Amino acid sequence: MAKKIIVLDPGHGGKDPGAVGNDLLEKEITLMIARKVAKRLGNYDVTVRLTRDDDTFLSLDARAAFANNVKADYYLSIHVNAGGGTGFESFIYNGPVNSVTGNLRTALHQTIATFVKSYGIVDRGEKKANFAVLRQTNMPACLIEMLFIDTAKDAAFLKDDEFMRGMSDAITAGLVQILNVEAVTPAPQPTPEPPQPSTPVWNPQGEIQKLIDAGIIFNNHPADAPVTWGEFAAVINRILNSNKQ
Ligand SMILES: [Zn+2]
């Protein structure tokens, strides 16, 4: 079965910094998280594609087209919120989506929400919106808004390496669960080949040497020399005599 493909889409980039606040740029946080999640997913049997892996501007159309072109099994857009609130929320498209999209989002959302709530952070809930990347992607898709960059309490978490590692772990765990992918076990060590029986090689001179060693013949005759009846009879008699002993 072909490997499943997940597209991680770090929001914003390049000339578009996204939300800004508390000395943080959304485009940098989204890329950092995407890279951390991609690294963690490297331990699983899944192909991870990032819409961007550097500080590049990408249109929303390009992001959705990328996921459609690589025939992703799942699309996750990663963002940081702004506007003075606090907490975590997730979105799926508010138009017609199949039930799978909703079910996968719920599982992913719950995994991340459980993590943020362990830090006393609010779960703002599972939401729907008419976001272009959710509308234009052909596969189950979700957009997460991790905390509020312009709220000091949330920004402090966004600057906390341990929290961000935990957030990356939680997103990874959620994706592993909804994609149902296995951890990659280390490649088995090649078992040594059993020794192959050596192919017998026809060695006429060797055969003559064996008879000399056994005392059946006495001289190292050329292998293709003719044999007289007398020589042949003498060889037979020596074999018969050696069997009597
Ligand atoms: Zn954003």
pLDDT reported for residue 81: 98
Q: Which domain holds residue 237?
A: 204-244
Task: DSSP letter for 16, please.
Answer: B
Which CATH number belongs to the domain containing residue 145 in this structure? 3.40.630.40
pLDDT reported for residue 61: 98
Residues with CB under 5 A from ligand 1 (ion): 11, 18, 79
Residues 55 and 145 in one domain: yes
Task: DSSP letter for 13, please.
Answer: B
| Cα 144 to averaged position of ligand 1 atoms, centre (Å) | 9
**Residue 184 forms part of a structural domain:** no
pLDDT band at 116 (very low <50, low <70, confident <90, very high): very high
Strand order in the sheet with 4-10: 46-50, 4-10, 74-81, 141-148, 88-93, 123-129
Q: Which residues pair with 7 in a beta bridge?
A: 49, 75
Q: What is the ipTM of this complex?
A: 0.99
Task: DSSP letter for 42, please.
Answer: T
72 vs 74: CA distance, rounded Å: 5
Residues 137 and 240 in one domain: no
Number of independent structural domains in the chain: 2
Q: Higher pLDDT residue, 56 or 222?
A: 56
How confident is the model over 152-157, as a mean pLDDT? 98
Residues 19 and 106 in one domain: yes
Q: Last residue of a domain, which of 137, 163, 179? A: 179
Residues 68 and 167 in one domain: yes
Residues 121 and 224 in one domain: no
**Residue 61 forms part of a structural domain:** yes
CB 146 within 8 A of CB 81: yes
| Cα 82 to averaged position of ligand 1 atoms, centre (Å) | 8
| Cα 79 to averaged position of ligand 1 atoms, centre (Å) | 4
**Residue 114 forms part of a structural domain:** yes
Q: Which of 26, 28, 89, 145 is catalytic?
A: 145
Residues 119 and 54 in one domain: yes
Quickly tell me which residue has 């001289």 as its tokens.
219
Q: For 182-238, what is each residue's pLDDT tens digit?
A: 999 877 777 777 777 766 677 888 888 887 888 887 777 777 888 888 888 888 888
**Residue 120 forms part of a structural domain:** yes
Answer whether residue 244 shows pLDDT above 70: no
How confident is the model over 143-157, as a mean pLDDT? 98
pLDDT reported for residue 104: 97
CB 148 within 8 A of CB 86: yes
| Cα 26 to averaged position of ligand 1 atoms, centre (Å) | 7
Residues 236 and 122 in one domain: no
Residues 112 and 174 in one domain: yes
CA angle (24, 76, 82) in 5-degree steps: 30
Residues 122 and 235 in one domain: no
**Residue 187 forms part of a structural domain:** no
Query: Known catalytic residue: 89?
Result: no
Q: For 75-94, what is each residue's pLDDT tens digit?
A: 999 999 999 999 999 999 99
166 vs 171: CA distance, rounded Å: 9
**Residue 188 forms part of a structural domain:** no
Provide the mean pLDDT of the chain: 92
How confident is the model over 24-30, as a mean pLDDT? 98
Residues 108 and 215 in one domain: no
167 vs 131: CA distance, rounded Å: 23
Q: Which residues of 18-48 are buried (b: 16+ CB within 10 A; e: fewer)?
A: bbebeebbbbbbbbbbbebbbebbeebebbb
Answer whether residue 245 shows pLDDT above 70: no
**Residue 233 forms part of a structural domain:** yes
Residues 37 and 76 in one domain: yes
**Residue 217 forms part of a structural domain:** yes
Residues 76 and 140 in one domain: yes
